Amino acid sequence: MNTLKSHLPLPLIDISLVTYNSAEWIDNFFRSLLEQSYPTKLINVLLTDNRSTDNTVNLCSLVSKKYSDYFHSFQIFERPNLGFGCGHNFNLLKSDSQYFLVSNVDLEFERDAILEAVTTASTDDKDVASWEFRQKPFEHPKYYNPVTLETYWSSNACILFRRYALEKVRGYEEKIFLYGEDVELSYRLRDNGFRIKYCPSSVCWHYTYEYPNQVKRLQFLGSTVANSYIRLRYGSWKEIAAIPLMYLRYFSDIYLLKLLIYFLAGCLYFLYKEKIVFNNMFFLLSIILIVVSFHHNYYNLVAPFALPYILFWLAFKLPFISFDKYGDFSYGLYIYAFPVQQMLAFLGLHKRGFIVYFLVCILVAIILSILSYKFIEKPALKLKKVRLRFM
C-alpha cells in the first residue's frame, strides 16, 4: 500500500462502489486498491450496498475498520436495491472531489492504474468527460480511435469521470436498473458536447467473464431493455422499429420462435377469414412491405402477416379456374417442398443467392409433386372404393 505523498500535484479523488452479494470479491479488490501507486490518502471510498443477502456489508465494514487510516475517508451506505446507476448517483451526492472514479468490485487494479488515469485526466482537455480503464483478460469489445483515444461509448465497470461533466448531465439514468446505463450515459455526455476517451494505460483485471464474448442471459435481457430505451431516446425510426426483433434473440431457439410466429399468424388468418378484405391496394402494400423489410432486416417481423395476404390474394383474384385440370399437385408440393429445400441447402445451392435457391426449390418441388400425383396419388385414389375382404 502507498501512503506516501507523490511528487506530482495529485488531486483528491472519490472512488464510488456499488455492491450486491459481492462477498467473494471484496478482499482481492481492496488488496489491489491498497497496493496502488496512487497515494491512498488521496482517495475517498464511498460504498453503497444494495441490500446484499450475503456477508458483503460485514466484510466491507471489517476492511473499513482495519484500513480506514490509509484512506482519506471510508463511508459505507446501505440502501434499497434501486440499481447500479442509482447507487453511484447516491455516492456522487455524498462526495465533492474533482474526479469521480466508478468501479466494480469484481476486478483488481494493476499497480499504476489509477495514477495513469488521473495523470491523463489532469493534462487532458476540459471537454473530455471520462477515461475508461482497459480490462483484462478480455478487453471490452468496441471501437476507439487509436490516435485520439476517443470512443462512442464507455464501459463503466471501471471509469474515471470529471465531476462537473457528470453533474451537468445529472449522473446515471435511474430508469435503467442494470446493464446499458453506461451506454446511455455515454450518449448523454456526447449529446451535451463532451468527449469520452479510452485509457489503455490504466489496466484492471475484470473477472466477470469466463471466456471472450460470453453472453449471460440476465445481462442480455438487461442490455436489451436498456438498448430499447436508448433507441427510443436517440435512435432513428428504423432503429426504433427493430426493437421487437432484439427480444426475439432472448429465446434459446430463435428459429422455433420464428416458426411459432408464422403459425400464430396463420391462426389469426383462419379465425378472421370471413373479415379479411382482398383488394389491390392492400396487395401492393404487402408487396412493398416485403421488399423493404427484406432489404432492412425486418423480414421476419413483416413476412408472417404480409406474405400470407399476398398468397391469398393471388389464390382468390387470379383466374385459376382450371388449376386442377391436369391434377391436384398441391399435396405433393406441400409434402416435398421441405425435403427439397433441405437437400439443396445441403448441396450448397443457397450460397448462390436467395432468388436462385428459391426458384430451383420451387421447380424441383413442382416436378416431384407432378410425378407423385401421376404415379402415387392418382393410382391410390382409384383404390378408395375398393373394399378389402377383411373389412
**Contact criterion met (CB below 8 Å) for 203 and 139:** no
Tally of CB atoms within 10 A around 246: 15
Select from 11, 9, 14 the least CA-distant residue to 166: 14
pLDDT at 5 over 70: no
Q: Provide the β-strand partners of residue 206.
A: 107
- Give the 3-state secondary structure of residue 121: helix
Q: What is the pLDDT of residues 78-87, one digit of tens each?
A: 999 998 999 9
Task: Please give the class, per CATH, of domain 13-214.
Answer: alpha beta
Select from 116, 142, 103, 128 the least CA-distant residue to 19: 103
Q: How far is CA 24 from CA 21, 59, 107, 210, 316, in A?
A: 8, 10, 11, 16, 67
Give the contacts of 326 (CB within 8 A, at least 6 positions apart): none
For residues 130-147, average pLDDT = 89
pLDDT at 363 over 80: yes
Model's pTM, two decimal places? Answer: 0.62
pLDDT band at 355 (very low <50, low <70, confident <90, very high): confident
- Nearest-angstrom CA–CA distance, 136 and 307: 48
**Contact criterion met (CB below 8 Å) for 262 and 320:** no
Of all helices (H) and strands (E), which one includes residue 136?
A: strand 128-136
Q: What pLDDT is recorded for position 248?
A: 63
pLDDT at 342 over 70: yes
- Nine cell digits for residue 301: 417481423
For residues 242-246, average pLDDT = 75
**Contact criterion met (CB below 8 Å) for 97 and 14:** yes
- Nine cell digits for residue 119: 495523470
Q: What pLDDT is recorded for position 75?
A: 96
Q: What pLDDT is recorded for position 45?
A: 97
Angle between helices 299-317 and 254-271 (to 10 degrees): 40
| Residue 48, burial from CB neighbour count under 10 angstroms (0-12, 13-18, 19+) | buried
Q: What pLDDT is recorded for position 6?
A: 45
**Contact criterion met (CB below 8 Å) for 141 and 213:** yes
Report CA dihedral (263, 267, 270, 272) to the nearest 10 degrees. Answer: -130
Q: What pLDDT is recorded for position 324?
A: 67
pLDDT band at 210 (very low <50, low <70, confident <90, very high): low
Give the contacts of 371 (CB within 8 A, at least 6 positions apart): 332
- Nearest-angstrom CA–CA distance, 168 and 192: 9
pLDDT band at 225 (very low <50, low <70, confident <90, very high): confident
What totals of helices (H) and strands (E) does the chain contain, helices first? Answer: 15, 8
Q: How far is CA 136 from CA 28, 48, 176, 181, in A?
A: 15, 25, 26, 21
What single string gives the DSSP state of each residue in 292-354?
Answer: HHHHTT-HHHHHHHHHHHHHHHHHHHS--TTTTTT---HHHHHHHHHHHHHHHHHTTGGGG-H
- Give the 3-state secondary structure of residue 174: coil
- Nearest-angstrom CA–CA distance, 59 and 360: 68
**Contact criterion met (CB below 8 Å) for 364 and 337:** no
- Nine cell digits for residue 300: 421476419
Enumerate the CATH 3.90.550.10 domain ranges in the chain, comma separated: 13-214
- Nearest-angstrom CA–CA distance, 6 and 41: 10
